[in-house]
Amino acid sequence: MLNLAHLGHGDFGFETYVNTIYSAKTYYAFVRDKYSVGFVEPKCKFLHINNLKIEPNKIESFYISEHKKIDLSTFENRVSLKNELNEINSELQEELKKLKVIEAIELLPLELFQELEIIIYSADVSVKEKVENSSFFKLLKVKIYSRGQFIANADLLEIMGKSKIHIANSISDGMPNALLEAMGMGAFPIQSNPGNVSEEVIEHGVNGFLISNPLDIHEIAGWIEKALLNNQLREEAQTYNINLVSKNYNRENLKQDIVQLYKGILS
């Protein structure tokens, strides 16, 4: 949320002000009904929300599509709004990091990908629109599986098994199943490291690359280029990762360990 309290709803300079404080190229994919700017009235009685829109072919500027007024006179209303904004912020941060991979690829030489197919799965609307409107990606072979679109796990594993690299940029804590599946199928991982979890299975520069700053498109682009140009590194990492996943994350082995754990607890 941005404090725009010094601007009235009828202030004709509002649109200009919004253009000044926002980077349209960075945020255009997030300008939806729920991603808005606004201000709170004195004494926190009402929140004024101005929903922003963009022209599809003119992403440099915003315009106001709707004005809303939300009652904040009760504690319950304020808590409810706070929770909603926290959820929106989490979604926004997650989408932003996914877009950074797309922007990173656009920094690299086109010929690096001309013999390859780029497959994007579980793609949010913003990612899909970004790729489809990109002059760079229009010159490449790209397949997109939207979020919610069914793809059989066997088919996804087959894709991973044919892939040179697997890129994932996320802020979610916990060991990503997709990371382990990709490594187990032999794809070279380029992975963010939220909560330092990914480094439990990836030794940077040995069996994958860890993204230290998930918002740095130049860092991400560098790891992608290095991975694609270094066949020996990918081949050595493939053998290492397949063995690692098979030994430590095989379902049958884990099942036996869990059974022994429960036996120990019950005895």
CATH number at residue 221: 3.40.50.2000
pLDDT of res. 247: 87
Q: What is the pLDDT of residue 77?
A: 77
Residue 159: the pLDDT is: 95
Mean pLDDT of 87-107: 79
What pLDDT is recorded for position 198? 93
Q: pLDDT tens digits, residue range 113-165?
A: 999 999 999 888 888 888 999 999 999 999 999 988 888 989 999 999 999 99
In a domain? residue 90: no
- 136 and 215 part of one domain: yes
Which among 1-5, 63-67, 85-89, 184-188 has the top mean pLDDT? Answer: 184-188
More confident site: 249 or 182: 182
Q: From CA 175, how far away is CA 170, in angstroms rounded? A: 11
Tell me what pLDDT residue 18 has: 40
pLDDT of residue 10: 40
Q: Are residues 193 and 238 in the same domain?
A: yes
SS (H, E, C) 179-241: HHHHHHCCCEEEEECHHHCHHHCCCECCCEEEECCCCCHHHHHHHHHHHHHCHHHHHHHHHHH
CB 39 within 8 A of CB 48: yes
User: Does the global pTM surpass 0.75?
Assistant: no
Phi, psi of 32 (to 5 degrees): -120, 180
Q: What is the mean pLDDT of residues 37-49?
A: 56
Give the structural domain span for 140: 102-256
Per-residue pLDDT at 74: 78
Report the chain's mean pLDDT, rounded to a whole number: 76
Residues 246 and 193 in one domain: yes
Domain count, the chain: 2
Residues 174 and 252 in one domain: yes
In a domain, 88, yes or no: no
Interatomic CA distance for residues 34 and 147, integer angstroms: 19
The per-residue pLDDT for 1 is 38
| Within a domain: 263 | no
Q: Is the dihedral of CA 119, 124, 128, 130 positive or negative?
A: negative
Residues 22 and 112 in one domain: no
**One domain for residues 107 and 236:** yes
Q: 89 in a domain, yes or no?
A: no
